[in-house]
Amino acid sequence: MTADPSRRTRAHSSHISQTPRPAPRTTFPEWPRMSTLRRIASQTARASFAAAFLATFSVGAALAAGAGDEYAYRWPLETKGDNVAWQFELTPEIYAALRDPQLRDFEVFNADGRSVPVAPLRDINQTMSRMQWVQWSVVPSFELPHDPTQPAGDVSVRLERDSSGQVRVIEANVQGGSANADGTTDAAPPAPSAIDYVIDVSGLRRESPTVTFDRLELQWPMGDRDLRARFAVDASDDLEHWQTLVESAAVMSLNQQGATLTRRTIDFPATSSPYLRLRQLDGDALPSLQAKVRRNDPSDPTYSDFVTRTADAEFVGEEAAERGGRWYRYRLPALLPAVQVGIALASENSTADMEVEALVGEDWLPTGNQSVFRLRQGDLKIENEDMALGTATVAREWRLRTVAALDAPPRLRITYLPDRFVFLAQGKGPYTLAAGSRGAKRTPLPVEQALAPMRKHFGANWQPPVAALGARSVAGGEAAYDEPSTPPNWRGWLLWALLIGGALLVAGFAMSLIRQKPAVGGE
């Protein structure tokens, strides 16, 4: 039986259609191609990571190396031991470097070149208001009438105290007589022409064994008549043996042409003796004298808050005043927070009424008036006291006005209360203070909150230890004060260059792998 050719053709066609056609040939087999892609991806990831790490490291190293270069000068801060924080005070050299009125153009850096938190430790005006009652104390004083024309000798004094240790009765043998607390004497002397005083500061010594005393402020009833007296100051531990601290010091209250010339303070070398004696040498008797003593106690944590510094102002010239008289102008080494002004006349036996002004910003502001004097009679010298300011006055330029021209310009000395700052000891030391810039500003941070646990543990008066300032060195120099410009962002360009270099490196790896002829299996 003969087969139908048409059927064979259809059957053959059906067979052919059911057989899968071979895939077209490619340049590389499938599996080798996937392996190549994986190698490229792996190389790309490693190269990208290396480039990013190199860029980050290079920029970080550049930042650390240039830490503080945006400031003009540097000062090393010497710290001993491990502490959570340190404090330091601004010196005239640092004040002179600063340009920001808010004192923000300085920072503290650690050894890695990173800025650490810094904040003011105190408010100067609040500290001024506390100085009077923290440093000064009213102390008991007892009269010892005597005749200053008689030879001086030791005074024997007997004290009786109550249960709290306060003096109740004093008995003194003076010049052979006996003076009692009730004013009676064993041998009735004539009316005293002079009065000595024993001043009891032993109560303050019991409160703190490390306290010392260096100034007396005397108060007496003011009257119409002039008063003047000269005293020696002695100290004793037992009220029998006395050591002279000051040979001669004058106090007075004189009314002259409507002005009052007054001096009420006596300075003496610091002493820890529990008893002081004012031994009158001559002048008017001053009954009912009251005394205040200035105390200093280094063991008190707040002692450093009240340590003042002095700076002499340079005389820079004089000019006629619009309201008459003369202006005498002075310049300090820097903008300093003044709390007292000391004026000393150049000529002896002269007096003058002074108006004091300070240049704050662009305006001259009055800070006070004072009658100043410099008197001398024989060995007796009397000069005016310093004038206290109501609030801290931050100024560099000062001027004094007198109605009548002086023979020579007076000397001007400023007492200032330096700003104190605290920084947290983040990172490792040594630490460096960098200051002085036209554009750089410190970022305020809540440092006091970080110190709260320390104050809770050690007490509210706890203070960080003091870091000592070293010698100044140049950082960015005077260029730090130049007008801010838009300098080339070399750090940004460096980062971009490193990233582009890394990308080119990755592209090179990829091209080298693509050009490699892979091994082809099978055929």
205, 149: one domain:
yes
Domain presence at residue 166: yes
Q: Domain range holding 361? A: 309-416
Between CA 157 and CA 174 the distance in angstroms is: 9
Which among 264, 291, 306 is the end of a domain? 306
For residue 82, give the 3-state DSSP assignment: coil
208, 272: one domain:
yes
458, 504: one domain:
no
> How much is the pLDDT for 287?
85
CB atoms within 10 A of CB 442: 20
285, 151: one domain:
yes
CB 81 within 8 A of CB 460: no
Query: Residue 390 — very low, low, confident or very high, per pLDDT cuts 50/70/90?
Result: confident
For the CA atoms of 500, 501, 505, 507, the dihedral, rounded to the nearest 10 degrees, stands at 30
How distant, in Å, are the alpha carbons of 216, 354, 396 from that of 343? 21, 9, 16
pLDDT digits (tens, 9 = 90+) for 473-494: 999 999 999 876 666 677 777 8
149, 180: one domain:
yes
Domain count, the chain: 4
CATH of the domain at 220: 2.60.120.260
Domain presence at residue 76: yes
> How much is the pLDDT for 379?
75
161, 300: one domain:
yes
134, 226: one domain:
yes
Residue in 434, 438, 422, 412 with CA at minimum distance from that of residue 336: 412
Torsion sign over Cα 388, 394, 399, 401: negative
Q: Which residue has the tokens 């499938």?
A: 30
Tell me which amino acid residue 435 is: A
Domain presence at residue 15: no
Q: What are phi and psi of 136, to 5 degrees?
A: -110, 140
Task: Please say if the pLDDT value at position 346 is more than 80.
Answer: yes
198, 288: one domain:
yes
Rounded mean pLDDT of 404-423? 94
Burial (Cβ within 10 Å: 0-12, 13-18, ≥19) of residue 277: buried
pLDDT digits (tens, 9 = 90+) for 286-343: 888 899 999 888 777 666 677 889 999 999 999 999 989 999 999 999 999 999 999 9
CB 433 within 8 A of CB 88: yes
Domain presence at residue 295: yes
Domain presence at residue 229: yes
> How much is the pLDDT for 108?
96
323, 217: one domain:
no
CB 379 within 8 A of CB 352: no
284, 144: one domain:
yes
pLDDT digits (tens, 9 = 90+) for 227-277: 889 999 999 998 889 999 999 999 988 887 667 788 999 999 999 999 999
Domain presence at residue 7: no
CB 291 within 8 A of CB 138: yes
Task: Please say if the pLDDT value at position 94 is more than 90.
Answer: yes
Domain presence at residue 453: yes
pTM for the predicted model, two decimal places: 0.70
Domain presence at residue 123: no
Which among 394, 416, 438 is the end of a domain? 416
CB 342 within 8 A of CB 370: no
CB 437 within 8 A of CB 104: no
499, 470: one domain:
no
